[in-house]
Amino acid sequence: MINQAELGGTFQLPGTSLGVNRMGYGAMQLAGPQVWGPPHDVAAAIAVLREAVAAGVNHIDTSDFYGPHVTNQIIKRALHPYPDDLVIVTKVGARRGEDKSWLHALSRQHLIDSVHDNLRNLGLDWLDVVNLRVGGITEPSEGSIEEPLTVLAELKRQGLIRHIGVSNVTPKQLAEAQRITEIVCVQNFYNVAQRNDDGFVDDLARHGIAYVPFFPLGGFTPLQSSVLDAAAASLGATPMQVALAWLLQRSPNITLIPGTSSIEHLRENLNAAKLQLPSLVIGNLDAIGGGRGPGMASTLHARPDQ
């Protein structure tokens, strides 16, 4: 059993009673290829989820458009009735086309249907946290998010949603969202090589809002990957472990949701929380993304976005 400290400590979502261990789990890879249909081994997917929770993970990120429906159904089979401290964070704002494409689903009816799909397939009466997913695949797009967020705020007042987050947004869109309802987390594309959100991360930390990065190894150039590989080799770790450890050391409001369909890789990911990066390694890694270092306020321009 890994204790809370070994999962990066805990982070309290603002204005809530929800404390999540900073090393969580992302369920997207539990579906079949291209996040479509069932996995080839449902029993193995169930085993991964049970192993994660047994190891102390109490933050699972999912969505009913993974599969679609498949991932949430597997979570229910594996873990329902859920542990009291388990926080399931889902997202709405997208749907799958028959050609396996990813489409926006931000109309009022789409959002209402999505929330009810998540409730039904997870076997819940309410959802702990729902993220509104907007923007593109990895980057936000400018524009108002008032209309879709207002729908989620209404569902929150109805008791179907406890708390709301946003995904793939800019600081301006976050400010707009906060005028409508309290926002407990932001989920954007960010890692040691993709540092556009440096300033955003720091600002959210000052306000006690969780930042949940996706694609911890996404967008690396070959040169950047070689630096990460060298750092991992020097520490006797994997590149993924180093990338996750860097994020945990970057800022105390960062919570992680690495995904895998393998128990072996799950254990490797969780063990990344125990990896302390020396300052020299951090400096080398910071250089590949142009950042100013973990825990240090950044003056870089802020532009946010699994």
Active site residue 66: yes
Q: Is residue 298 part of a domain?
A: no
Instruction: Give the per-residue pLDDT at 141.
Output: 94
d(CA 181, CA 165): 10
d(CA 257, CA 57): 10
Instruction: Judge contact between 118 and 284, C-beta under 8 A.
Output: no
Instruction: Judge contact between 102 and 136, C-beta under 8 A.
Output: no
Instruction: Give the per-residue pLDDT at 137.
Output: 84
Instruction: Give the per-residue pLDDT at 302.
Output: 25
Q: Is residue 294 part of a domain?
A: no
Q: What residues make up the domain containing 108?
A: 19-219+253-274
d(CA 105, CA 103): 6
Instruction: Give the per-residue pLDDT at 246.
Output: 98
Instruction: Give the per-residue pLDDT at 4.
Output: 63
Q: Is residue 174 part of a domain?
A: yes
Q: Is residue 229 part of a domain?
A: no
Q: Is residue 232 part of a domain?
A: no
Q: Is residue 236 part of a domain?
A: no
Instruction: Give the per-residue pLDDT at 304.
Output: 27
Q: Is residue 177 part of a domain?
A: yes
Instruction: Give the per-residue pLDDT at 39.
Output: 98
Catalytic entry in 25, 66, 82, 211:
66
DSSP 302: P
Q: What is the mean pLDDT of each run of 10 residues along the chain (306 residues)?
A: 75 96 98 97 98 97 98 98 98 97 97 98 98 93 97 98 98 98 98 96 98 95 96 97 98 97 97 96 92 36 27
Q: What CATH number should be reported for the domain holding residue 54?
A: 3.20.20.100
Phi then psi for 175, rounded to 5 degrees? -60, -40
Q: Is residue 205 part of a domain?
A: yes
- The number of distinct structural domains making up the chain is 1
